[in-house]
């Protein structure tokens, strides 16, 4: 265990945050959506997220304990206006106490006097055994990562031959009543582009909402190149070969990262929607309402942030809730306008996506 070090609190320089305290940045954005990473560990090795080998896990004592996670959630919801919490990782199902953490969050009340909306981003390995208990604990919605329905392509991307587990997890999520169930697929040229129409058809058949995401530079350096990226435009073109794509339904929703298209498949006359997330080619940073905490208690204002605000140190050194809230708010106040992938001087974050929390 950590020996608590004496904690010297210095009140951050006064900002417009001082009254009332909120996660407001200098561009007027207010963060209400907390991405809480519960572990950096994972049972897959997706090429776009982490290296196949050689990545050391964070030491156990660096990871926030259950009571530390609960306290940060309490501060976020109680003092900083958080209304939605998404548990992520690494693989959040690997955290044994996930149901307990969900139940704790579910018992809180937001500034709108209701429980925070609780969701999970998961690779679904083992979800078949846990979905019911997680729903009982307060989980409402789930995003399941699935890039291909072809077992070989799935194994090539994820590094493991586990497609069957994912499909069982999806069926369990449906049976447990989770809604909506979104399927996240990272689009990669020459890897899974041929299977995107099949994936969409599968999702339509099962009542799942497919979200196709542009590949972002958050994994091992050699796995991403701007020239190779399969853009939202390219994805629309591919889907357009087998589906009729109609108008976008959520053009007016400023916080939605995905543009949702109404689609119809000629042959089966099957209708539904598909979301396309153009995180690289058309970033939605101007409307971002997210704040992130890594499994080791570092607050990040952006996936691509180069600086983190340490919440764990003050937490372990006896800082008050108000002091921690001010450090968190101060870090968010400094949030940059955008992720800067297009800037000539763009530098990828030093941590991989699995260590940040997607
Ligand atoms: N292990 C869980 C999972 O895979 O759903 C949660 C963590 S994972 C980091 C969260 C999401 O980030 C996944 O949907 C994954 O596909 C996405 N992701 C990871 N690396 C990415 C990248 N370089 N570009 C775009 N999305 C990425
Ligand atoms: Fe693990 Fe999720 Fe990263 Fe894949 S995307 S390696 S499942 S954390």
Per-residue pLDDT of the chain (358 residues; tens, 9 = 90+): 344 445 555 555 444 444 468 999 999 999 999 999 999 999 999 999 999 999 999 999 999 999 999 999 999 999 999 999 999 999 999 999 999 999 999 999 999 999 999 999 999 999 999 999 999 999 999 999 999 999 999 999 999 999 999 999 999 999 999 999 999 999 999 999 999 999 999 999 999 999 999 999 999 988 898 888 999 999 999 999 999 998 788 777 777 789 999 998 876 667 889 999 999 998 989 999 999 999 999 999 999 999 999 999 999 999 999 999 999 999 999 999 999 888 878 889 999 999 999 8
User: What's the token pair of residue 280?
Assistant: 């690289």
DSSP codes of every residue in 245-301: EEEES-TT-TT-SEEEEEEEETTTTEEEEEEEE-TTTS--GGG--EEEE-TTSEEES
Cα–ligand 1 centroid distance for 89 (angstroms):
9
CA distance 157 to 148: 9
Place of tokens 């307990």: 100
The reply to whether ligand 1 has any atom less than 6 angstroms from the CB of 196 is no
The reply to whether ligand 2 has any atom less than 6 angstroms from the CB of 49 is yes
Task: Pick the ligand that lies closest to the CA of residue 183.
Answer: 1
Cα–ligand 1 centroid distance for 199 (angstroms):
17
SS3 144: strand
The pTM (predicted TM-score) of the whole model is 0.93
| pLDDT at position 268 | 65
CA distance 126 to 55: 23
Cα–ligand 1 centroid distance for 335 (angstroms):
22
| pLDDT at position 248 | 82
Which atom of ligand 1 sits closest to the CA of residue 48?
A: 23
Angstrom CA distances, 193 to 36, 249, 356, stand at: 30, 24, 26
Which atom of ligand 1 sits closest to the CA of residue 91?
A: 1
- How many helices (H) and strands (E) would you count in the chain? 10, 12
291: phi then psi, degrees, rounded to nearest 5:
-135, 145
Question: With the CA atoms of 89, 94, 96 and 102 taken in that order, what torsion angle do they form, in degrees rounded to the nearest 10?
Answer: 40
The reply to whether ligand 2 has any atom less than 6 angstroms from the CB of 138 is no
Cα–ligand 2 centroid distance for 248 (angstroms):
29
Place of tokens 């990226």: 229
In this structure, which residue's CA is closest to atom 1 in ligand 1?
91
- What's the angle, vertex CA 67, arms to CA 62 and CA 68, rounded to 5? 45
Which atom of ligand 2 sits closest to the CA of residue 123?
A: 7
| pLDDT at position 267 | 64
The reply to whether ligand 2 has any atom less than 6 angstroms from the CB of 145 is yes
The reply to whether ligand 2 has any atom less than 6 angstroms from the CB of 123 is yes
The reply to whether ligand 1 has any atom less than 6 angstroms from the CB of 355 is no
Task: Pick the ligand that lies closest to the CA of residue 213.
Answer: 1
The reply to whether ligand 2 has any atom less than 6 angstroms from the CB of 144 is no
CA distance 335 to 27: 8
Which atom of ligand 2 sits closest to the CA of residue 159?
A: 6
The reply to whether ligand 1 has any atom less than 6 angstroms from the CB of 354 is yes
The reply to whether ligand 2 has any atom less than 6 angstroms from the CB of 89 is yes
In this structure, which residue's CA is closest to atom 20 in ligand 1?
49
Cα–ligand 1 centroid distance for 8 (angstroms):
37
User: What's the token pair of residue 205?
Assistant: 């058949």
How would you label 67-89 residue by residue, b for 16+ Cβ within 10 Å and e otherwise?
eebbbbbebbbebbbbbbbbbbb
Cα–ligand 2 centroid distance for 337 (angstroms):
27
């Amino acid at each position: 265990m950590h020996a608590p070090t004496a904690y010297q609190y210095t009140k951050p320089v006064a900002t417009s945050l001082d009254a009332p305290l909120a996660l407001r940045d200098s561009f007027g954005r207010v963060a209400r959506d907390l991405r809480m990473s519960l572990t950096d560990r994972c049972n897959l090795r997706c090429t776009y997220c982490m290296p196949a080998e050689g990545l050391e896990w964070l030491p156990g004592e660096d990871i926030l304990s259950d009571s530390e996670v609960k306290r940060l959630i309490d501060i976020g919801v109680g003092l900083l206006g958080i209304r939605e919490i998404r548990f992520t990782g690494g693989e959040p199902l690997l955290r044994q106490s996930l149901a307990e953490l969900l139940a704790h969050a579910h018992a809180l009340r937001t500034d709108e006097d209701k429980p925070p909306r609780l969701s999970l981003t998961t690779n679904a390995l083992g979800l078949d055994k846990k979905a019911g208990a997680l729903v009982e604990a307060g989980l409402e919605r789930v995003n399941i990562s699935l890039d291909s329905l072809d077992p070989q392509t799935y194994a090539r991307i994820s590094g493991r031959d586990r497609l069957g587990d994912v499909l069982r997890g999806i069926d369990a999520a449906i049976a447990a009543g989770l809604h909506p169930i979104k399927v996240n697929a990272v689009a990669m040229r020459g890897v899974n582009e041929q299977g995107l129409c099949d994936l969409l058809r599968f999702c339509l058949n099962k009542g799942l909402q497919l979200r196709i995401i542009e590949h972002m530079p958050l994994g091992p350096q050699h796995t991403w190149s701007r020239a190779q990226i399969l853009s939202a435009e390219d994805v629309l073109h591919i889907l357009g070969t087998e589906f009729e794509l109609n108008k976008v339904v959520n053009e007016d929703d400023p916080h939605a990262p995905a543009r949702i298209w109404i689609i119809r498949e000629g042959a089966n006359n099957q209708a539904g929607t598909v979301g396309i997330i153009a995180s690289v080619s058309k970033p939605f940073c101007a409307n971002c309402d997210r704040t992130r905490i890594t499994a080791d208690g570092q607050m990040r204002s952006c996936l691509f942030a180069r600086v983190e605000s340490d919440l764990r140190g003050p937490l372990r050194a006896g800082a008050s809730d108000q002091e921690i809230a001010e450090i968190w708010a101060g870090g968010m106040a400094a949030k940059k306008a955008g992720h800067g992938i297009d800037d000539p001087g763009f530098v990828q974050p030093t941590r991989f996506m699995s260590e940040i929390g997607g």
